[in-house]
Structures are given as C-alpha cells and as structure tokens.
Amino acid sequence: MKTHKVEQLIIATVGFFWCFLMWFSTAAFSPSIAAHYHLSIAALGLLASSAIWMAPIGRIIAGWASDRFGAPHTFAVILAGCGLVSILSAFTTNYDLLFFERVIVAIAGVSFVVGIQHVAQWFDAQEIGTAEGLYAGTGNVGAGMGALLLPRIFGTNYHAAFAWLGAIAIVIAAWYLLRGRAAKSAERRATVQRRSNVRGTVFVWSRYIAIALMLAYAMSFGLEIAMNAWLPGYFTRGFHDAILALGFSGVAGVQIAAGTFAAVESFCASLFRPFAGYMSDLFQHKGWTPLPFIARTLPYAPRLHWLGISLILIALCMIGLTLAGLSGSLHASVLVLVALGICISFGTGGTFALVPLLFPDRPGAAAGFIGGVSTAAGIVYPLVFAGGANIHLGYLHAAVFMFVPVILFYFWAARYELHPEEHGLISQAALAAEQA
C-alpha cells in the first residue's frame, strides 16, 4: 500500500482529536446527567474527576503497546473499544453502570502517547517538533470543542451524543486499521518492536533525562489540566467584586466570566502548541544554544535549550500571576494568564519535540512514561494553590518550591555533551546487559 507521512499524521491527528472529544464528553454533559439522576455536588465532583483516573497507568501501558504491536493496531483497539462502550452507555438507565462505562470511555485519553509514537516513526529529526506539535495541538482542541459544541448540537440529550461519538469512533478505528502504517520502514519498526520489553521500559524510567522531561511535562501539561479545574474557582473567589463591577450579576454571571478566563488559558495552551514545536525546529535549524550549563554539542542540543527557556518562562508567569493577583488588577491577571497559556504550550510542545530524539528505539515507552506519570501533577497543583493563607500566593509557592527545583534538575540532567540517555539510576553493568 502506498502512503505518505502526511497521511499518517492526519490519521493520527483525527484519531487523537476524536479520542479527546470522547474523553471530555462526560464533563460536557455533566449538568444534564446530574439533573437526570439527581446527583449531589460530591457525586458530580466524582464524575468529573473520573475522567483522569485511567490516564497515568493507561498511558504507560498504551506507550508500551504501541512499541510492541504498532500504533495503528493499538489506536484502533482504543477507538473501537471506547466507541463500543460509549454506544452502550447511551442506552444505560442505571447511574452506577453509566459511571463505570464512562470511566472506561475515558481510557480514550491514553491515546495521546500512541499517536506521539506513530508520528515519531514517520518524521525525521529536523521536522519532528512541528509534526508532533501539529498532532498534539490540533488533537487537543477536541477537548475544548467537546465543551463548546456538544451541548449546542445535542442540547441535554447526552444519550444521542454518546451513541454518535461511539459510532464515529468505530469508523475512525476502521480507517486507522485500513490506512495506518506503524513506521516509515520495516527496519525502524523491527528495532522498536525488539526493544519493547520490561528491561527496556525500566531503562527509560531510570534515565535522568527521561525523569527531567517527565517533570518538565508535569510542569507544563500537568499545570494546564490543573488550571482547567482550578481557575474558575480562583477567579470567582479572588476577583468576585471586580467581576461584579464588569456588569455581571449573580452566581451564574460570575461563573460565566470566571469560566471564560479559564477557557482562554486552555485555548491558548492547546492552539499555540504546534507553534512551540515549530520553535523547537527553528532553534534546531539555527543552532541556538543561549542557556548556560545545558549541553551545546548534542545533535538536538538547541531543542534542549528551547525547553529550558520554556520552563523558565512558565515559572516567571506563575510569579507574575501572584503579583497581578496581589495588585487586585483583574485585567493584569488575565493578561498574565494568557501569557501563561502560551508558555505552557511552549513547554508541552518543547518536551515532545525531544522525546522521540532521545529515545528513538523506545518512543512509545518513553512517551508513556513522560506523558503518563506527569498527569498526576494535575491532582497536586490545586492542593498547593489552595494551601496558602492568601489565594493569590499559591502560584508563587508552586513556582519557588516546585518549579525552581524542577528547572535546576532539568539543567543538571541536560548538561551531558555525549549520550545523556546513558546516565541514570541503573548501574553501568546493568545498562550494558540491557544493551546487549
């Protein structure tokens, strides 16, 4: 079968977009589900949080499976399985069963790492940032589109929405199987498949640079999903009077304004991600290495510097968010928030422009580890934000006590001028045995 890498990129992006649409479709209809089943606030919160339960472990397994069985087979199984359960959930009348089925459908969110692996198997080093950015950024929009469009198309009829989403997922799964090819060459495919064992996975998990990238992704994507949950409440409490002064009234009015500020941050974080990947490619093309300590002679050294700059910008934006909050300026706070969304995209795009290059023989295992474990950070940040005496100080605490140590560790792990992936927690002897 004749194919082209752009076709593979489009297949992966459409599959990922649809998976993210399914992943967040429960949240889009949570008010309707809550009204239908008379759910309490606690039950509603449980339903909302259930979307993320399967992500950490699921992404690790999905990353390994894409190395082992190939991205098209893995992606098709995820799409078809989640699609089938989504259709079943459309006909369910028992809430406990519906909750269980929607947790299964939320597994669709693990597909991210499968597509990352797929794209990495087709695109060359000099264009990987843009390719991965286009895949991840465009696919991510599925989450926002779900919140924006599904309630407008289906109203409160979530049954019909779940059925349609599932049916189309099965069609995309068939397309993926029919046209998807796991790698550009049989040789590349065979190398990755041969390395997809437990020892290879432990090897990736124990590398300092892999841990640094995982923490970098926790600092960017983990922060993005934490902010999605945290920001509406933050603006409602921290800027209540300022929002009322804009002309909004009542709980619903304040909720709309606060939700808009949160949505803008999320929107920028998604749609600037391809640009972040392009910037990584540009740094690479120009050979820019402006930061101290970080390696300068590695074939992908400029990409390490771009990610380092992104992490510093995220930390600065967090400090800026605290300062803007303490000043009481809603306008300044929202402006910093837009900047934070853009800088978060720099971090997410910059991280996955590096992963396939650092672990070319284990792209799925590496993407699973870095993209999976880091999502747990989304649970931690809101606790830090809410822990301070002043609601605006939480960002400063996170920046100083969490982000600065992560940045320092990243600089330390990225300082090796030769094979940074050889340095890790496993001894040299074990490493030699693994490579044999």
Per CB under 8 A, the segment of 95-103, 202-210, 331-339, 425-433 that binds other proteins is: 331-339
| Cα torsion through 43, 48, 49, 54, rounded to 10 | 120
Residues 96-125 that bind other proteins (CB under 8 A): 124
Q: How far is the CB of 391 from other proteins (least distance, A)?
A: 20
Per CB under 8 A, the segment of 85-93, 102-110, 136-144, 419-427 that binds other proteins is: 136-144
136 Cβ contact partners less than 8 Å away, ≥ 6 residues apart: 16, 112, 115, 116, 273, 274, 277, 348, 349, 352
Q: How far is the CB of 265 from other proteins (least distance, A)?
A: 9
Q: What is the DSSP letter of 184?
A: S
Structural contact between residues 123 and 4, judged by C-beta atoms closer than 8 angstroms: no
Per CB under 8 A, the segment of 158-166, 269-277, 318-326, 374-382 that binds other proteins is: 269-277
Q: Which of 284, 310, 374, 375 binds other proteins (CB under 8 A)?
A: 284
Euclidean distance between CA atoms 374 and 112, whole angstroms:
13
Q: Tokens 């809603």 sit at which residue?
A: 330
Q: How far is the CB of 52 from other proteins (least distance, A)?
A: 22
Residues 230-259 that bind other proteins (CB under 8 A): 246-248, 256-257, 259
Q: What is the DSSP letter of 115?
A: H
Q: Which of residues 111 and 130 has its CB atom nearest to other proteins in the complex? A: 130
Other Cβ atoms within 10 Å of 149 Cβ, number: 12
Q: How far is the CB of 183 from other proteins (least distance, A)?
A: 18
Our CA angle for 181, 166, 115, nearest 5°, is 30
Q: Which of residues 188 and 397 has its CB atom nearest to other proteins in the complex? A: 188
- Binding to other proteins by residue 415, rule CB under 8 A? no
185 Cβ contact partners less than 8 Å away, ≥ 6 residues apart: none
Q: Which of 186, 187, 250, 331 binds other proteins (CB under 8 A)?
A: 331
Euclidean distance between CA atoms 261 and 388, whole angstroms:
22
Q: Which of 15, 133, 308, 347 binds other proteins (CB under 8 A)?
A: 133
Q: How far is the CB of 303 from other proteins (least distance, A)?
A: 11
Burial code of 216-247, b = ≥16 C-beta within 10 A, e = fewer?
bbbbbbbbbbbbbbbbbbbbbebbeeebeeee
Q: Tokens 């605006």 sit at which residue?
A: 392
Q: Which of 21, 87, 136, 268 binds other proteins (CB under 8 A)?
A: 268
x/- mask, other proteins, residues 12-51, rule CB under 8 A, reads ----------------------------------------
Chain Cα centroid distance, residue 403: 18
- Binding to other proteins by residue 134, rule CB under 8 A? yes
Our CA angle for 314, 319, 321, nearest 5°, is 90
Burial code of 331-348, b = ≥16 C-beta within 10 A, e = fewer?
eebbebbbbbbbbbbbbb
Euclidean distance between CA atoms 135 and 7, whole angstroms:
12
Bridge partner residues of 424 (DSSP): 207
Q: How far is the CB of 424 from other proteins (least distance, A)?
A: 23
Q: Which of 37, 175, 267, 416 binds other proteins (CB under 8 A)?
A: 267
Q: Which of residues 2 and 286 has its CB atom nearest to other proteins in the complex? A: 286
Euclidean distance between CA atoms 381 and 234, whole angstroms:
13
208-238 and 404-413 helices cross at what angle (nearest 10)?
A: 160
- Binding to other proteins by residue 2, rule CB under 8 A? no
Q: How far is the CB of 342 from other proteins (least distance, A)?
A: 9
Q: How far is the CB of 97 from other proteins (least distance, A)?
A: 32
- Binding to other proteins by residue 56, rule CB under 8 A? no
- Binding to other proteins by residue 347, rule CB under 8 A? no
Euclidean distance between CA atoms 404 and 157, whole angstroms:
47
Q: Which of 52, 271, 426, 431 binds other proteins (CB under 8 A)?
A: 271
The footprint of other proteins (CB under 8 A) covers: 5-6, 124, 126-127, 130-131, 133-134, 137-138, 141, 148, 152, 246-248, 256-257, 259-261, 263-264, 267-268, 270-272, 274-275, 277-278, 284-290, 296-302, 331, 334, 338
